[in-house]
A and B are shown apart, each in its own frame.
Chain A
C-alpha cells in the first residue's frame, strides 16, 4: 500500500494543476454545507444563548425584533425611546429588578451602552484590567473594543456625533477608560459601557459649565433677573469630565423624563415574571405605549426564518454538489482513458488488475485526504471569523 501511495503521490504532484483543481472542487463541495452549518450553530449560540439568559425586556411599543436586537446585541437600529419613569414603574411593582439601557450613541464605530452596575452582575462580566465604572464620564471597554482600538485604563475615547451637522445637539464627549472587561465571546466584547448618566451627558441633558451666578464676564450672560440667569451661546460646555469640573455637572429637568431605550427586567421568580407581563397587556394610556417581550421567543422566531433559508440553500448545494461529483467522475474516467498506455505498460510488466485498482484508489484517497485536511483548515478559519460574520449578517 505504501508503494501504491508513493506512486499515486508522484502522479498527482507531477500533474499538480489537475490535482489542485480536483482538490479545490472536492473541498468546495464539502466546505459549503459544513461552513453553513457552522455559521448557523454559531448564530444559534450567540443569539439564542444570550436571549434565553435574558428573562424580560421592557420597551416602547414597536418592533420587538428591533428592541431585542438593540438591547441584547447593541444593533444599530434605535427603537422608540422610553423614559426613566418606566424604570421606577417596574421597580415599584416589586416583581423584578429593572436594569435600564440606553444604547444609541457610538464611539469610533462601537456601540456605547449606557447602563448601571447591575448589568455587569447580571451578565457575569468581570474586569480584566483597571476597575469598574465609578464616576461620571468614565467608560469600561469590552475586550474586543480594547483590542481593536488598542486602549487600556487611563486612555481616553471620544464619542461620535450623532449627525454631522447637529450643532446644537449631541456633541462628542471625551471619556476616560476606567477598565477593560474579560472576553465573553459575545456582544459585550464589542461594546463601550458607560453609566447611564454619562449617555445623558453625551446627549446634552446633563452638562457642566461655570457657575452662572458667579460669572463676571458680561459676554457670557444674556439676561439676569431675580430668579434666573440666561447664558449666551458663548458659554463653553465641557467636553470632558474631570475631577475638577465634576461638581459643576448637573441635571436639567426631571430625571424621570430622561430617555432610555429599554429595560432588562429580572423577575424574582416565574410567578413574578408572569405577573409583570400581565401588567403590560392593557390599553390604558401608559400601558399602551410600552411592551414587554421575552427575548427567547423573538430570537427563536428569527432563527426559524434563518433555518428555512438554510434548508433552501442546502438543497441548492446538494444539486450543485451532485453535478460536481458527476463532473469529477467524468474527469477521472477521461484521465483513465488518457492513461491507457501507462496501464497497458504496467500490465505487460506484470501488474495485476487488483494492483492497478489499488494505484488508482490511492490517487482518489490522496485527493480526498488532501481535501479533508483543507476543508478542516478552512473550517478552523471560518471558526475564527464566524462570530464577526454572524454579527455582520444578522445583527442590524
Chain B
C-alpha cells in the first residue's frame, strides 16, 4: 500500500506547486483592478473574467463609503492598472488621497447630471467665503439597476481600452450582465408599479435612487439595524406616520427584535432590502438583489411567485 501512495503523493504535491506557479505567472499578465465598493467589484469580475484580478480590500463589516484605508492600502490602489470609482462623492477617502487620474474611472460620470442632491446636510460658513453646503449627494447609485447597467458599461469600456484584443469577450460578458440587470430591473418595476403611491418607510437614507427609479413613496429616518431607537426617534417616527401612514419599513439589515416588535405594534412590518455595498456573507450581488426583489414583493402584498 505504502509503495503506491508515496509516488502518488509526490506527484500530487508537484502538480499543486506547478499550478500555483502557473497561476502566479499567469496572474502577472492579468489586469489589476481595484474598486471602492462591492457592486463595482462584482461587475468587474463578471465583465473582465479571467482577464483581470479584481480587488476590493475594505473590511467586510465596514460601510465602504466611510472607510479610510491606510497608506499601504492606498499604495496598493496606486499600483493598480485600473481603479474603479463609484462617483457621486462615494468613498470620501478618494477625495483626500492621491490616485493617478489616468488609471481612474468614474463609473457614473455618464449620468452625473442625474445625481440626487440631499438637503439634510447642515451647511456652515466662516471666513470670507460665505455660506456653503457640504454638497450632500446621494451615492448609492447602483440601487437604480438601470444606472447599475450604465456603470457596468463604463467598466467594460475601460477594460476594453486596456485589453483591446479581448473586446469581443468583454462585450459578451457585458451583455450577459446587463441582461440579468435589466431583467431584475423589469421585475422590480413590475412589482412596484402596482401601487406607486403606497407610503413606505426606510430606516436609513440610502434608497434615494431606488425610490426615484421605481417610483416609491419613501420617507427615511436615520436608524441603524443593530441599535434600538431612542424615544425621541420613536416619537419622530410616530409623527411621520400621521402624515405618511406606511405599513412597511425597509431596512439595510435585520433590525433588532425589540425594534421589530415595537414597529409591529405601530402597524409597521419590516422588510430587508440590502444595499449590498460590501461583500455579502453568502451569494453575490445579483443573488442579493434578487432576494431584495422578493422582499419588495412581500411589501407590495404579492406572494413570491418566481425564484
Contacts and interface: CB of A to CB of B under 8 A. Distances in A.
A218 interface: no
A131 interface: yes
Contacts, number: 88
Nearest to A204: B127
B71 A131 contact: yes
A230 B100 contact: no
Interface stretch (B31-39, B128-136, B146-154, B238-246): B128-136
B98 A133 contact: yes
A229 B101 contact: no
Contact of B68 (A117, A228, A247, A254): A247
Interface string B97-110: 11111100000000
A274 B234 CA distance: 64
A97 B100 CA distance: 11
Contact of B126 (A99, A227, A235): A235
A66 interface: no
A62 B14 CA distance: 69
Contacts of B128: 168
In this complex, which of A118, A227, A252 has the most chain B Cβ atoms within 10 angstroms of its Cβ? A252
A197 B101 CA distance: 13
Interface residues of A, number: 39
Given A117-B98, A136-B96, A246-B68, A253 B132 contact: yes
A121 B81 CA distance: 13
A213 B74 contact: no
Nearest to A131: B75
A227 B123 contact: yes
B78 interface: yes
B4 interface: no
B98 A227 contact: no
Given A228-B131, A231-B126, A134 B95 contact: no
A339 B97 CA distance: 81
Given A132-B75, A134-B97, A213 B127 contact: no
User: For the complex, would chain B's binding face be called helix, strand, loop or mixed by DSSP majority?
Assistant: mixed
A251 B128 CA distance: 14
Contacts of B99: 116-117
Contact of A246 (B96, B101, B122): B96
A230 B127 CA distance: 9
Interface in B53-105: 68, 71, 74-75, 78, 92, 95-102
Contacts of B132: 252-253
Contact of B127 (A98, A168, A247, A254): A168
B149 to A, nearest CB: 22
A97 B101 contact: yes
B74 A135 contact: yes
A232 B124 CA distance: 11
B122 A227 contact: yes
B4 to A, nearest CB: 53
Given A117-B78, A253-B132, A134 B98 contact: yes
Given A197-B95, A232-B126, 15 more contacts: A116-B99, A117-B78, A118-B100, A118-B101, A135-B71, A135-B96, A136-B96, A168-B128, A195-B97, A212-B124, A229-B123, A230-B126, A230-B131, A249-B96, A252-B129
20 contacts: A98-B101, A99-B101, A116-B98, A131-B71, A132-B78, A133-B98, A134-B97, A135-B96, A136-B96, A168-B127, A197-B95, A212-B122, A229-B122, A233-B127, A247-B92, A249-B96, A250-B134, A251-B135, A252-B132, A254-B135
**Which A-B residue pairs are the 10 nearest by beta carbons?**
A231-B126, A117-B100, A133-B98, A134-B74, A136-B96, A229-B124, A195-B98, A212-B124, A134-B71, A118-B102
